[in-house]
Amino acid sequence: MKTLLNPYQIKSGIIKIAEKIILRHNSSDPLIMICVMRGGFRFYSYLLDELQNMNVICDFVSCKSYDGVENTGFKMLQDSRVDVTDKHVYLVDDILDSGITYEYLKVHYEYKGAKSVEGIFALKKYNDKFKDEMCIMSIPPQNDYWYFGFGMDDENGENRHLKGIYYK
């Protein structure tokens, strides 16, 4: 097991992302923060800790596009319940890998009338299509490790509880 990001590096990255969000929005305007379950739960929680002075409406969506390490395509398990009409929506997830989940959810919330929809990720595998999304760390496309910890499970569905982000 090798360390990609330790807890201090994660915290520093989260603070930088929160600062960008705070600079973009008036503190009284409602922001919809939607956690993409299950992998995004730790990142989401830590990010919300840094947005205490913002008007944040929290919600969750449950979907999957992987079974173990195999990409099985997008499947919505439970939609969020909040009305996103004319509001800024942030989708908070653990990793932007193939982009299938993010693309589907972005279109889904745009169709529901969101003013804007943006993704925020702990890790982002770089490609030209998703170059503007916020993340703690962008990973080169040739880097094909399976990452785990900080909410992300390993190939056996374990180790979400780890404080850092690791790879084998």
> Tens of pLDDT along 85-140?
999 999 999 999 888 889 999 999 999 999 999 999 999 987 778 888 999 999 98
Q: What is the mean pLDDT of the chain?
A: 91
Find the range with the poorest average confidence among 8-12, 30-34, 62-66, 70-74: 70-74
> pLDDT at position 66, please?
67
> pLDDT at position 68, please?
62
Residue type, 81: R
Give the predicted TM-score (pTM) of the model: 0.91
Which domains occur in the chain, in start order? 7-62+80-141 (3.40.50.2020)
Residues 31-40 have a mean pLDDT of 93
Query: E strands of the chain, at which residues?
Result: 2-5, 30-37, 55-67, 70-78, 88-96, 116-125, 134-139, 147-148, 165-167
Diameter of the chain measured on Cα atoms: 44
In angstroms, the CA 34 to CA 103 distance is: 14
Residues 20-49 have a mean pLDDT of 93
pLDDT at residue 16 greater than cutoff 80: yes
Give the residues across from 56 on adjacent strands.
31
> pLDDT at position 58, please?
97
